[in-house]
Structure 1
Amino acid sequence: MISDIENQAFNKQLFGDDFEWGVSTAAPQIEGSLDTDGRGRSIWDVFTQKKGKVLNGHKADIACDFYNRYAEDIALIKQLNIPNFRFSIAWPRIMPDGTGEVNPEGIAYYNRIIDECIRQGVEPWVTLYHWDIPHELEVKGGWTNREVVTWFSNYVKVCADAFGDRVKHWMVMNEPAVFTGAGYFLGIHAPGRTGIKNFLPAVHHAVLCMAAGGRILRETLPNAQIGTTFSCSHIEPYSLNARDVAAAKRADVFFNRLFIEAVSGMGYPDDIKVLKRIKQYMLPGDEALMKFDFDFIGIQNYTREIVKASFLIPYIGARLVKAEHRKVQLTDMKWEVYPQAIYNVIKKFDAYPFIKKLIITENGAAFPDQISDGKVDDPKRIKYLQDHIAQVLKAKNEGCKIAGYFVWTLTDNFEWAEGYHPRFGLIYIDFKTQQRTIKGSGLWYSKFLSNI
């Protein structure tokens, strides 16, 4: 397989004709135009205004200006031979206060994006929730308020009715472990809440919303492909010491098992004592309401994590051994470059018998890209993509239910609390001029997809 890469014979034909290839984005990271055409505020709009929350004080007011440049960017997707485009719908554009009247200009905007995709021959894949709950709902408790199930259900129904005649692939939610963990436990992401008292109800309500959203889509759009996505990390213990091995297993519960097992009908893992407290937020009948049979599960992997036991870390008794302390190759996010991780998470999730199909809905890397003579040479990203795609092929050849791969991401963008520093894109953006420049990795992916 590696020799195929070296001989430039490594292309999409090795995966078969029905394997899905694409690129992924998220509305809060690319759109900008935060107060345009009736859009309400999101929790990230408010969070970025707080001092010290985002690197260098960066804000997403303009971001990649995708709100105005969507046709240009979709044309670039077509130019790069990328057949599928994953993007998210911004909840506050559709329902500015989260619960009230629908904003017709928001509906019209996403209709234009979908229609442009179809005109260009690019298949739209829609994520309904990518971390931008309306701020007005956060004032009412956000994900800690059980009413969010009703709020979210209404939003899903509006989107299904408005866009379901053309959108065939849907993802209900993006990485619930991240937005509940970073936003409602650690406080490093919006809305900046902390503590187990916020985390546990947010987890339970996110599970209920995933299942409720799936049911609404199934009832409204019986022929649609319905999925949801999870952040996944390959976890290894720092040593074979029994304490480190046990710590790695506990970390695996939070990183990988918590949401997939809850939404599949297995219930919440009971390996960790604190998770038993989640029962105080459950009502009679919730076990059934938590479950939905998805058509596909999106798994998103970038690296592996090494875990060591630690009495100092509450609830989990484990800490990550930072990659920069392990003398390994790093990305600009200080994540270890470890291609085998994506193979391992595919194998892990493939072992769940209830999963029908797996799709890598995000994988990519940030490196310190620069323009020179009008070009961006990024050989490290090319190597990263090649090596990870090779690991996906290995899993597929071993019979895993892996059916697609989407690169994160199309253009450099607003990378949450890291601001504009990390560049993940296949396309370089000069954020002062909004000039787009296709990177070497974008040209490589285009060639790979063209079977040349």
Structure 2
Amino acid sequence: MTTTNSTSIVNSFPSLPALARDDFPTNFAWGCSTSSFQIEGAATADGRAESIWDRFCQQPGKIRDGSNALVACDHYHRWPEDLDIAKQFGMNAYRFSIAWPRVISELGAKTNQRGLDFYSRLVDGMLERGLQPWATLYHWDLPQYLQELGGWERRATIDAYLEYADAVTRHLGDRVKNWITHNEPWCTAMHGNWDGMHAPGQQNFKAALQVCHHVLLSHGLAVPMIKSNVAQAQVGIALSLHPLRTASDKSEDRAAMQRHDGLRNRWFLDPLFGRGYPTDILEHCAADAPVMASGDLDVIATPIDFLGVNYYFPETIVDAPELPPLHTKLAILPDRERTDFAWEVAPDGMRELLVRIKNDYPKIPIFLTENGSSYDDKLEADGSVSDTRRRNYFIRHLDALKQARAEGVDVRGYFAWSLMDNFEWAEGYLRRFGMVYIDFVTQKRTVKESGRWFSAFLNQNK
């Protein structure tokens, strides 16, 4: 892959901010994020068990294009090529997730050595290429055998998670030092069990809050265990967080925004930083509040080494008096720039969100563990993919990250979502987030314009 000077690329578009790698510290983590279910494929290979997402994909109407992730990007077999691309991009870090169903294939079973061996080869491949491994233990692919016993709604699933996490961190901890316990508990709990958009597809608010509590509790219990297993471990959690707007200046909209903030953001941040669940939200959901044991909130607040923030877009809230108080409505304003997924493009929202975390919560290192955009990319006749809007998205959001650092936010790394197009959950293969175009028939990888820019930016002055 050839690269050019990134400054010349940026400056050839005067409306874009000038940006250089030297604007960030030399030890800044530059990487991409991926997840096991979305890219690996090999759904039945080497003893892998069924996950809740495998089962969800079998249900008619759950995946928009009727697809599944049985093959996905075939990363399970093509991982050397994918890591080569990450290295060529100039990245020094690589975030991946481990598939629980590959590691423990049935209830009470011993660990599946073939599954562990795959991740061992993958981690070795990262290190050989100068990529620091960042492992996510749970990125939504719960084993189906646990779901059939009640899933995350059942407290015993915490014990199963800890057994899994113990096995993985013991096996990989000699090489992997950065660990994320969970990715986006909001999606696990709310999309999976409240609105039913994600696996397991339940629509029960009380169950969703219980799931959320058990996920956060499993996180708190895992932190000291990981540190015991892994010398010099750095442990955190990755949250999906949103800056919020109101559709108007009406007091009703402001009150609705406050409630939405309580459930969307504070419901996770507050207990993780020792404040317990927000009292204003508990008042609204008294009948649905999670069952907790004495000491649970202290466990959830176990100190972490960093906070992962996944930022994509702000949310605009409008009061909906016809709905229960916590069932707020998102307003779609017509005058906003949007991706082809209809997500608002708002780089300053990233800065705003990060500054808020700095101001409202105890000081903690932050990593942008996901940030990216979906556009309807096309492979041109000459074999190129011109995704100028995604390239511009990265430039503008990295500039916002630079501004946040200038305002005192301790941001230490940025992971783009994602290295390559993949199975995008309920959207199937309709959404492309990658810097690498995947032909899902041939599995051919093609670096997009955004990937060429990222490579030029990261390889600058090397």
TM-score for the superposition, normalised by structure 2: 0.94
Secondary structure at 1:18's aligned position in 2? coil
Equivalent residue runs for 1:140-179 within 5 Å? 140-179=149-188
Cα pair distance change 1:396/1:284, threshold 3 Å: same
Corresponding residue for residue 393 of structure 2: 384
Secondary structure at 2:46's aligned position in 1? coil
Distance in 2 (alpha carbons) for counterparts of 1:98 and 1:390:
47
Secondary structure at 1:127's aligned position in 2? strand
- 1:443 Cα shift? 0.6
Of residues 63, 84, 89 in structure 1, which corresponds to 2:98? 89
Corresponding residue for residue 83 of structure 2: 74
Corresponding residue for residue 357 of structure 2: 349
Corresponding residue for residue 116 of structure 1: 125
- 1:278 Cα shift? 6.0
Corresponding residue for residue 217 of structure 1: 226
Identity of aligned residues (%): 37
- 1:352 Cα shift? 3.8
Corresponding residue for residue 198 of structure 1: 207
Cα pair distance change 1:29/1:175, threshold 3 Å: same
Distance in 2 (alpha carbons) for counterparts of 1:239 and 1:394:
27
CA RMSD of aligned residues (A): 1.7
- Structure 1 residue 6 corresponds to structure 2 residue 16: no
- 1:99 Cα shift? 4.1
- Structure 1 residue 302 corresponds to structure 2 residue 320: no
1:206-261: CA deviations, max 9, x gaps? Answer: 11011111121122224111111000111101111101011111111122111121
The question of whether the paired residues in 1 share the 8 Å contact of 2:420 and 2:437 is answered with yes
Of residues 16, 25, 29 in structure 1, which corresponds to 2:34? 25
- Structure 1 residue 330 corresponds to structure 2 residue 338: yes
- Structure 1 residue 127 corresponds to structure 2 residue 132: no
The question of whether the paired residues in 1 share the 8 Å contact of 2:206 and 2:289 is answered with no
Distance in 2 (alpha carbons) for counterparts of 1:336 and 1:11:
25
Secondary structure at 1:404's aligned position in 2? strand
Distance in 1 (alpha carbons) for counterparts of 2:261 and 2:431:
26
Equivalent residue runs for 1:187-336 within 5 Å? 187-272=196-281, 273-277=283-287, 281-322=291-332, 325-336=333-344
Corresponding residue for residue 369 of structure 1: 377
- 1:200 Cα shift? 1.6
User: Structure 2: where are the runs of 5+ without partners?
Assistant: 1-6
- 1:131 Cα shift? 0.2
Distance in 2 (alpha carbons) for counterparts of 1:77 and 1:262:
35
1:133-180: CA deviations, max 9, x gaps? Answer: 100000011010011111111111101100000001111100001111
Distance in 2 (alpha carbons) for counterparts of 1:249 and 1:414:
34
The question of whether the paired residues in 1 share the 8 Å contact of 2:57 and 2:68 is answered with yes
The question of whether the paired residues in 2 share the 8 Å contact of 1:270 and 1:276 is answered with no
Secondary structure at 2:190's aligned position in 1? helix
The question of whether the paired residues in 2 share the 8 Å contact of 1:4 and 1:10 is answered with no
Distance in 2 (alpha carbons) for counterparts of 1:341 and 1:9:
19
The question of whether the paired residues in 1 share the 8 Å contact of 2:259 and 2:325 is answered with no
The question of whether the paired residues in 2 share the 8 Å contact of 1:274 and 1:315 is answered with yes
Amino acid at match of 1:6: N
Amino acid at match of 1:71: P
Secondary structure at 2:192's aligned position in 1? helix
Corresponding residue for residue 104 of structure 1: 113
Corresponding residue for residue 425 of structure 2: 416
Secondary structure at 1:165's aligned position in 2? coil
Secondary structure at 2:47's aligned position in 1? coil
The question of whether the paired residues in 2 share the 8 Å contact of 1:429 and 1:436 is answered with yes
Distance in 2 (alpha carbons) for counterparts of 1:26 and 1:98:
23
- 1:3 Cα shift? 11
Distance in 2 (alpha carbons) for counterparts of 1:417 and 1:312:
28
- 1:388 Cα shift? 0.5
Distance in 1 (alpha carbons) for counterparts of 2:272 and 2:408:
24
1:111-147: CA deviations, max 9, x gaps? Answer: 0100111111111110000000100000011010011
Distance in 2 (alpha carbons) for counterparts of 1:79 and 1:180:
37
- 1:344 Cα shift? 1.1
Distance in 2 (alpha carbons) for counterparts of 1:174 and 1:407:
15
1:254-298: CA deviations, max 9, x gaps? Answer: 221111211221100111224445655111222222221111000
Distance in 2 (alpha carbons) for counterparts of 1:184 and 1:326:
30
Distance in 2 (alpha carbons) for counterparts of 1:351 and 1:98:
44
Cα pair distance change 1:411/1:132, threshold 3 Å: same
Cα pair distance change 1:355/1:146, threshold 3 Å: farther
Distance in 2 (alpha carbons) for counterparts of 1:290 and 1:337:
33
Secondary structure at 2:309's aligned position in 1? strand
1:341-371: CA deviations, max 9, x gaps? Answer: 1111111212244342011000000111111
The question of whether the paired residues in 2 share the 8 Å contact of 1:97 and 1:135 is answered with no
The question of whether the paired residues in 1 share the 8 Å contact of 2:49 and 2:143 is answered with yes
Distance in 2 (alpha carbons) for counterparts of 1:352 and 1:151:
34
Q: Name the stretch that deviates more: 238-247 or 263-272.
A: 263-272
1:426-446: CA deviations, max 9, x gaps? Answer: 000000100000000001011
Distance in 2 (alpha carbons) for counterparts of 1:264 and 1:209:
15
Secondary structure at 1:182's aligned position in 2? helix
Corresponding residue for residue 56 of structure 1: 65
User: Would you say how many aligned residue pairs link Structure 1 and Structure 2?
Assistant: 449
Distance in 1 (alpha carbons) for counterparts of 2:46 and 2:359:
46
The question of whether the paired residues in 2 share the 8 Å contact of 1:294 and 1:355 is answered with no
Cα pair distance change 1:353/1:309, threshold 3 Å: closer
1:180-209: CA deviations, max 9, x gaps? Answer: 100011111000011122112101101101
Distance in 1 (alpha carbons) for counterparts of 2:369 and 2:244:
20
- 1:5 Cα shift? 4.4
- 1:327 Cα shift? 2.9
1:363-419: CA deviations, max 9, x gaps? Answer: 000111111111111110011110000000000011111111110000000000000
Cα pair distance change 1:77/1:4, threshold 3 Å: closer
The question of whether the paired residues in 1 share the 8 Å contact of 2:205 and 2:288 is answered with no
Distance in 2 (alpha carbons) for counterparts of 1:203 and 1:76:
36
- 1:90 Cα shift? 0.3
